Structure 1
């Protein structure tokens, strides 16, 4: 046991977060995301059954957002014509605001295939059990000030 580490953070994820440097990205992927095929050059960690929101909260307790990029957080945008609701985006914004006040403007949107490309360049993809559609999120790590 370690003090101050959220219990949802498993040892493999703690190691990955520790290894990541400034500008490296981590993807928290929903259950629909093709983590293994997109993450061919990334570390892929399985968090089956786990929703993303509490994991996002725990990760943001441990790493800062990149302050040198316009969009340190990226969400997968809806496919044109898709009318599915995305209340999870608002919950993500609340979590981000709790840990990094005023950084909501730094949330960018990427078209589905552009998101896959960006995710493929990430250091790690965490494959979760999140059931919400369009719940995928990329977080770019910053430096501690």
Structure 2
């Protein structure tokens, strides 16, 4: 057991999150998403799982260990509802609350369903959840962590 880590973050997911670099994207998806087929096209090439929890809960776990990119306009994306792009299903409303609670200063930008699938294929990894509600699919762009005292350390890059 590790201290201060969300217990949902299994070894495979932690390894992927740690291995990602600034600007890499990850997908958190529901059980309806073609996760395995899309995951085969990602950098990791295999599906990661956080089973038996909702997509918003998995989002909370992931956001507890990675920052979002502050150099882009939309570091957090949600899959649009087909035929109703402004609609926010329950899973997305809950994810918005988790994003706000994490302290990230961004909102979920909408992305049309087929464009979401294409973008997901370019991601670093896909994490499938146990979410059974529709449209519990999100893409996050990893940011950077900069130590507050980095400038004062010997050998620090200026």
TM beyond 0.5: yes
Aligned to 2:78: 75
Contact 2:22–2:142 (CA<8 Å) still a contact in 1?
A: yes
- Does 1:92 pair with 2:95? yes
State how many pairs are aligned.
143
Q: TM-score, normalised by structure 1?
A: 0.90
Larger relative contact order, structure 1 or 2 (CA cutoff 8 Å, min sep 6): 1
Q: Of Structure 1 and Structure 2, which has the larger fraction of its residues in helix?
A: 1
- Does 1:59 pair with 2:62? yes
SS of the residue 1:118 aligns to: helix
Contact 2:75–2:140 (CA<8 Å) still a contact in 1?
A: yes
Q: TM-score, normalised by structure 2?
A: 0.83
Aligned to 2:135: 134
Please, which runs of 5 or more residues in structure 2 have no aligned partner?
A: 147-158
SS of the residue 2:69 aligns to: coil
Contact 2:74–2:106 (CA<8 Å) still a contact in 1?
A: no
What's the offset of the Cα at 1:51?
A: 1.6
Aligned to 1:108: 109
| Displacement over 4 Å in runs of 4+ | none
Q: Distance in 2 between matches of 1:27 and 1:123?
A: 8
Q: CA RMSD in A?
A: 1.9
Aligned to 2:40: 40
